[in-house]
Amino acid sequence: MHIIVVGCGRAGSELAYRLFRRSHSVAVIDEVASAFEKLPPDYRGRTVQGEVLSRDVLHRAGIEEADGLAAVTNSDTVNAVLAHVARTVFKVPNVVVRSYDPRAIVIHEAFGLQAVSSTRWGAERIEDLLAHGAGRSVFSAGNGEVQVYEILVSEEWKGFRLHDFLPEGNCVPVALTRGARASLPSRGIELETGDLLHVSATRKGMDELRQRIPNPGRRH
C-alpha cells in the first residue's frame, strides 16, 4: 500500500518508520525540512517538504495513488482540512486524523473521519492506573470508548458465576484463562481462584463492574 503521513513530528516520524518497516510505500510531508531528521537513518521512504495543503505537494507525495493518509500535524484544524480534502477531492479510501483537543473528535466524526485523540486516551489510561485497582486495561478500541480489561480472580470469588456480577449490556466476557488454557466463557461459568478473566466493556460498564467486585451479592 502507498500511505502518506502528513506531519513529521514525534508521532509522524514514528508512524512513517513503522509503516516503512512493514514494507509499505511511504511518503512523509512536512513544511520544515529539518523535521525529517527525526526519521531513523535506515528510513528509505519518500520525504516531501512544502506547504501541506498545497496540491503540488500532495501530488509529489503521490496522493492520486494513495491507499491511506494520516494527518498528524500539530494543528487540529489543518488535520481536519487535510483529511476532508483527501477524502472528497482525491478519494483516498482510508484517512485517519490525529486530534489534540478531545472536543474536536465530534467535529471529525461528523465528517465521517476516523479520529484518534492521544490526549483523551492517555488521560483515561492514566486515570485507570491511578484510581482503579480492579481490572487493568490491556486493549483500547477507537479513542477508548470500548476497552478490554484483565481481571485476576481472587480466593473470595471462587464459586461465583460470571452472571453474579457482570453488568448486562455494557460488559461482555471475552476470554477466561485457567491452567494456561484459554476458552470463550459463558456467563454461567463458575470461577476458580487464579482464573484470568478478560472482559470487553464501555467505561460505564467497567465502572459498574468495579462497584460490584467488592460485594457481588448473593450467589445464584
pLDDT at 103: 76
pLDDT at 210: 79
Instruction: Identify the CATH homologous superfamily for domain 2-116.
Output: NAD(P)-binding Rossmann-like Domain (3.40.50.720)
Q: Which CATH architecture has domain 121-212?
A: 2-Layer Sandwich (3.30)
Task: Give the rounded percent of residues in the chain with a pLDDT score beyond 90.
Answer: 48
**pLDDT tens-digit profile of 43-71?**
999 999 999 999 999 999 999 999 999 99
Q: Is 197 exposed, middle or buried (0-12, 13-18, 19+ CB in 10 A)?
A: buried
Cα-based distances in Å from 205 to 103, 121, 213: 23, 17, 12
Residue spans in the chain of domains classed CATH 3.40.50.720:
2-116
pTM as predicted: 0.64
Report the alpha-carbon distance of residue 200 to residue 195 in Å, rounded.
16
**pLDDT tens-digit profile of 175-217?**
999 988 999 998 899 999 888 899 999 888 888 887 877 555 4
For the chain, what is the largest distance between any 2 Cα atoms, rounded to a whole number of angstroms? 68
The larger pLDDT score, comparing residue 19 to residue 111, is at 19
Residue spans in the chain of domains classed CATH 3.30.70.1450:
121-212
Cα-based distances in Å from 193 to 102, 141, 178, 181, 197: 40, 29, 9, 15, 11
Q: Grid coordinates in use for 5? A: 503521513
